[in-house]
Amino acid sequence: VFCSYRASSAGVPARRPPPRRGPAMEKRRKWPQGAEGAREEPGCAPAARGGGGGRAGDGAAHRMSPTQEVFNALTMVPLACMALHTLVRPAEGTTSADTLFAAAIIVHFPFSFCYHTHCALRHGLVDPVENNFFLKLDLVFIHISGSLMALATSASYAWFLAMALFNAVSASRTLRWSNTTFERRSCRACCLLGYLLPVFAIDWVLFAWAMVVFGGMAFCFACNQQLRGWGHSL
């Protein structure tokens, strides 16, 4: 204030101090998109600022490199080959439930493979989450495949119709992108329980092993940032 008074007294225009950066200005600040960063998805935790500060997959906090996206796509291939072998050359004792389960895997495979391949080829040019139609198809066909798997494990049309209705609503909201990251992940977890719970009634040991495997997979996905983007591949 004293310096401003001296300047005005000398006939020199007073120099205004720079405006303080408050919460209102922080809200107007936009983070860059593309290879250097990405917008934060509504309903999910803020993206990490270090190392590019982007996201990959459905709200993960680490932007994957093209090499990692290629590995993400390749991890889908072995299971798809096993499912295709079950359909083309079924082993002795293969049941209709085995065939339906294998078909469900094949139904989802091309959409997941194309999504990760697209992210690798268009890395830095497209956002891996926002307005990504390939991601929407990947997530939608998880629910479609889950409905078929529920029929395969339960052999109950009533259970299948209930799960198909749930997955149809979840897939519709995902396709319109009117849900949050937490809702999408929760619905996918319920989709998985939809075809694993019938196994509990048949073989609880097998169900327990399946839940252990799912827990390990979910842990790697949740710790994708700490794993430097390799969570999906693991």
* Distance between CA atoms of residues 117 and 199, nearest Å: 33
Location of structure tokens 């839940």: 211
For 151-165, the pLDDT digits (tens) are 999 999 999 999 999
* 94 pLDDT higher than 90: yes
In terms of C-beta density within 10 A (0-12 exposed, 13-18 middle, 19 or more buried), how is residue 230 classed? middle
For 175-185, the pLDDT digits (tens) are 999 999 999 99
For 10-45, the pLDDT digits (tens) are 555 555 555 555 554 444 444 344 433 333 333 333
Q: How far is CA 30 from the centre of its chain?
A: 23
Q: Render 94-123 in DSSP notation, one character per residue.
A: --HHHHHHHHHHHHHHHHHHHHHHHHHHTB
